Chain A
Amino acid sequence: MAALNPVGRPPSDADESSPAPRISYWGAVWQRFSSNRLAVLSLGFVIVMVLVAALADLIAPYGYNQIDLDNAYQSPSWRHVAGTDEVGRDIFSRLIFSLQTALAVAFGATVISVAIGGLIGAVAGYAGGVVDNVLMRFTDVMYAFPGFLFSIILVSVLGRGIVTIFIAIAATGWVGFARLMRAQVLSIKNLEYVESARALGATHPYAIRRYILPNSFGPLIVAIAFMVPTLMMTESALSLLGLGVMPPRPSWGVLIQVGSLNFRAFPYQLTWPAATFALALLAFTYLGDGLNDAFNPKE
């Protein structure tokens, strides 16, 4: 969304003066953000999710692979609030543990994607000309990149592991960030104050560090907020390639898939995983909206 808003933040006085007022820039961002109740609520929810994932061992009432064949296919009850699966494992506990991988994968892959995409986009946008053209054609190619084959090769070369998942996702995930970053850099680099700084003898790295990067933070953070939830589902697709988490570890996406397969007979297997996923997605989206408004205050 932010990618389509190439007009950057207009240069404020804060950028030109001492560091003290810059804090007030972030302060202003926070102020605008905190005035959006929905966004704050969403942020709270995301923090709760992270906490739950981190403290899964303490919170979950059962282990994720605590088999109880006598209590398979149980409907929700006080003992098992979300029911049990085909081997009697507590679905609620599995859901809590699945948060761990989902969040780790989503954040990890996003960080790598942002790093690669940001770099390529920034270079393309800043250098322009042939470099830009070549890099952008490269991103075009990556849109059609056969990620399936690449992931299979990756897992046979690197072996299975969370890093492999990061790389597999980042291999194509960076493309969107590259485009975003390029658009940002393009829109900023021709602004008068940057051009005048260049005319005054500022070096390229200085110009990038001083003007381009700080101005691109806003849209980037927004884009990250939107990317994280979609990546939480990508992990379930990867398990089909032998790349995702191995059974018996639970995966959020697989929980939803299985739930939808068993929906007619055991609807409770779908409701909890799907509902919590919808909530997480809502939270990240509203968080992204809130950040968008906070960073782009023009109204």
Chain B
Amino acid sequence: MVMFFFRRVGQIFVSLVAILVITFYLMHAAPGDFFNIERLMNQQVTGSRLSQFEEKSQTLMLWEERYGENTPVWKQILIYLRHAAVLDFGPSFRYPDTTIQEMMKRAFPRTFVLAFSPMLLALLIGIPMGIGAALYRNSWIDRVTMFVSMLGICIPSYVIALLVIVFFAVTLQLFPTSGWGTWEYAVLPVMAMVFQPVAGIARYVRVSLIKEMGEDYVRTVFSKGGNRNKAVFRHALRNSLIPLLTISGPQFANLMVSTAFIEEIFNIPGLGKLFVAAAGTRDYPMIITSTLFFGFLIMLMNLLVDIGYALIDPRIRASYRGKGG
């Protein structure tokens, strides 16, 4: 198990380096550059222009200070890795005053809360919904549950966000339309995000529970005259919830990514706000770090899922031992 853990961590590291290499090369190959874009936007929005005096801005100098002038890309990658090893990502082009790690330290908890609460809520709501639908299959409970959860999948979350703002903030004036601070501010964004995971989890639980209930061992319990509820909850549910882990991990990572536009709509100073414009404005330091961060997050979730799996299911633990040993 320990060996397995270290192997996986090693693999994650190698994968991260691969992501880094891809990102660096793509970044340098993509047309457009930060200064052209900034210059254009400045002049578009404000009528200003960066003049001939700005041919070499301080921001660019910060980059060159770090990476040197005309450094080949592979060397830039090594330099980046050396700094990243001590969690030093340096300043970004757009926010030259502060470092990326500094900004992320402030922004991460917000995005985490924003992604974690819908996930938690989705589990709390979705699992009972799925169980109900599976137990009373093809009854009105099933149909209503599935229809509601289908709605969650069908409506894009920016449309839901708009509807909840108009209804809860404008019509009822219960919650603020935007911003971040006390818990009231989190209600509407979470509401906008919760539908999709609820739908996913409810549907998943329903399908896998129905499948488990068809398995021989559950039928055996039935045939022995066992209590139906007991059979379902003690045996079938437990087995069908284990694989739920597998979808919860990626779903959480997905939620982290999809907070980006929710943060924009609700003006929440989270990670998405930092990262989302990075690629569009060719903010190199931010592009690299954000790609790497989300890559890391997804792989971390996968690792946690695997470990959780191993802890719950002895068969899998045994198979890891075989592989890792």
Interface residues of chain A, those whose CB is within 8 Å of chain B, are 1, 4-5, 133, 137-138, 140-141, 143-146, 148-150, 152-153, 156, 233, 256-257, 260, 263-264, 270, 274, 277-278, 281-282, 285, 292, 298-299
B15 within 8 A of A: yes
Set of chain B residues within 8 Å of A298, measured between Cβ atoms: 211, 214
B29 within 8 A of A: yes
Q: Mark B140-160, 1 if CB is under 8 A from A, else 0.
A: 000000000011011110110
Set of chain A residues within 8 Å of B31, measured between Cβ atoms: 152-153, 156
B191 within 8 A of A: no
In chain B, what residue has the closest Cβ to A299?
B214
Known A1-B204, A153-B30, A299-B210; contact A141-B155, beta-carbon cutoff 8 A: no
CA distance A133 to B14 in the complex (A): 12
Known: A233-B156, A263-B166, A298-B211. 5 other contacts (CB 8 A): A140-B302, A156-B31, A256-B159, A274-B156, A277-B154
Q: Mark B200-219, 1 if CB is under 8 A from A, else 0.
A: 00011001101100100000
Interface residues of chain B, those whose CB is within 8 Å of chain A, are 11-12, 14-15, 18-19, 22-23, 26-27, 29-32, 150-151, 153-156, 158-159, 162, 166, 203-204, 207-208, 210-211, 214, 243, 246-247, 279-280, 287, 291-292, 294-296, 298-299, 302
Set of chain A residues within 8 Å of B211, measured between Cβ atoms: 5, 298-299
Say whether A141 contacts B19, CB under 8 Å: yes
Say whether B295 contacts A285, CB under 8 Å: no
Known A137-B14, A278-B154; contact A153-B29, beta-carbon cutoff 8 A: yes
Say whether A274 contacts B155, CB under 8 Å: yes
Say whether A140 contacts B27, CB under 8 Å: no
Set of chain B residues within 8 Å of A133, measured between Cβ atoms: 11
Tell me how many residue pairs across A and B have CB atoms closer than 8 Å. Answer: 98
In chain B, what residue has the closest Cβ to A286?
B150
In chain A, what residue has the closest Cβ to B29?
A153
Set of chain A residues within 8 Å of B26, measured between Cβ atoms: 146, 149-150, 153
The listed residue with most B CB atoms (<10 A of its CB), out of A257, A292, A299, is: A299
CA distance A204 to B232 in the complex (A): 42
Say whether B18 contacts A260, CB under 8 Å: no
Set of chain A residues within 8 Å of B243, measured between Cβ atoms: 4
Say whether B14 contacts A270, CB under 8 Å: no
Contact of B22 among A141, A260, A263 (CB under 8 A): A141
Say whether A149 contacts B23, CB under 8 Å: yes
In chain A, what residue has the closest Cβ to B296?
A144
Say whether B295 contacts A143, CB under 8 Å: yes
CA distance A233 to B295 in the complex (A): 23
In chain B, what residue has the closest Cβ to A7?
B211
Contact of B19 among A145, A152, A282 (CB under 8 A): A145
B6 to chain A, nearest CB (A): 15
Known A1-B207, A277-B154; contact A270-B27, beta-carbon cutoff 8 A: no
B70 to chain A, nearest CB (A): 22
Set of chain A residues within 8 Å of B246, measured between Cβ atoms: 4
Set of chain B residues within 8 Å of A278, measured between Cβ atoms: 151, 154-155
